A and B are shown apart, each in its own frame.
Chain A
């Protein structure tokens, strides 16, 4: 293996840690041969990698299952059900960037399970599918779709934002957290935008398919007066607010910054932000050109950003399940609990600002949950463990175990730790060694970071 190729392998592993949930050795082999640009193109295509057949999970949209959505006929499912369902989808996905972007969008438009406030599992599933459909689509179209989203509307009170009693919650978070950022609008803009956003109510969806609730615009509850929002004046309707906000120069830089800090590095450099922001302007808000710019940028390829982000519990858990090909749904249900102990309960972010990032995941109880998830998962895996050459994921060297988990270059202290274990392990069996290697790689700083 030449030095250049070895370098590519490491870079491809980096790409898959960020744009997916870590590469498996077969994916590393395939894209090392095909080249980095092919890997980027395949991930951005949103079609199954390496010609894989999509699992049934990817083909099924539970929102559109008619038996599930008939008004008043199906009791809402427990939260754990839909958490497990999404985890399974992410573990088995053949389009990892679609799921990574869906996860990003869930964190961005962070909406939490509050069944007492209409936000039940049906509404959250419907919202999840809005994210998935737009994951590699158009940001402006997604923002328009979010205005019609029941869960977000209930979460930010736009369902009770009426002419007589305007509620500023959605207008404020739309500008502060979703599109512009603090400092790029005034309190007057919030008030005026909230007037333009008035008029939506939540109504039952009488169609046999689709979610049980839907947003209904009632002109009688809409403030049809003249508003001035961010310098524009007119008798604006709700969807006009999205267009006005996204015309602001700050909007493209805001989203570019969030994407760079999610996919590349903790603090986005200004020049990099400019380049990504320009793609939004040039393409009228298409996401794929922006993501291509990110994943092909020198800043992304630099070795200095590798390992610079702490994996969220979702990335961690999904990465471990994928590496070991553990697709059992009972295990995924346990995985939801492990993730929760590690600080991330899907569909239940702590507030509209989303989850913490990086250092925010390093609490003692959270790390212990990750460690224990790894050791229990390892035990589960080795009960099926047989020597390489069969379908169970495994390896015969310390470095090989790193590759199982998408790490092409384990750090020297981690290699030393694993070798230290091997030096000392008495009466070891292939199973006990495999269990220890899985436990320790999963617990290592190398796997904790992306």
Chain B
């Protein structure tokens, strides 16, 4: 028997064992080579027994969600790359609806001189005439009667994202914080955030925020401390999650002062938590909690991974605000859930000019850190 032939038989037996056939059954098929095959097939049987790494149910669910998001993003990209005519005709309902509106408007324009009357413009209950939003106004996309969503529940409009406007007195505040885990290993752990996306509930363009504070030292944000990284106006409506895009993470160990690799495998941190933003009333404060894990019990051989801490993230989380430079400025946030450590303060009174705004009273007990903003 040639070596190539034996290789082929061994390969076939391995295939059969992988499909569930027993070792003995394979040997019965090739009695003339049973002596040579048996020890090699036993190697497979032994090795296969050590095939660990069975993913947890939570990991499977999370991976499936990520895949579905990637699939939706691919579908959107693909549609945008198709010619306009193809995009229009592949959506007959949308095309029909747009066409119907156009016909009605055209009919009104044509019939106006015949009837001699002026069109009645509906007024709001207070008697004022509503005005169409100007081009530079922030669009109110994710309203309850928002844009139709596709089968995946992700927006299929021509734009993936709409930029949100930073405002000193906005209706939305995004803060970063840090859950304990292995942060105590670090002297500093500075992460840089490039963009943040808010996912509208039920589809529609995602809202893109460019953080006003782009570098944050997580070691300064332990416990219920949180730093505001963006404040401004976002479209009113319900949201289903926040994605934070991290461009770099630089860690320095407390024990040795040495730089250490901190990985964020996908470059993105994601929290799927529902929240609502309103144009009037209190601003929504969303705390995004990031944590770092060591993957070894031996610190000098450790590697670190940062990930979102979903259970500590969301709107309505209690926090103590600190300045980007590390100095605490006061407490804020509705106390729908507490963040573990007992609050040393209570939510402050509403701001003078906007409900829900943090009071800027200085907070003791937190030492000023070095500047985290470049």
- Same complex origin of A and B: no
Taking Cβ atoms with an 8 Å cutoff, the residues of A that contact B are none
Q: Which residues of B contact A (CB under 8 A)?
A: none
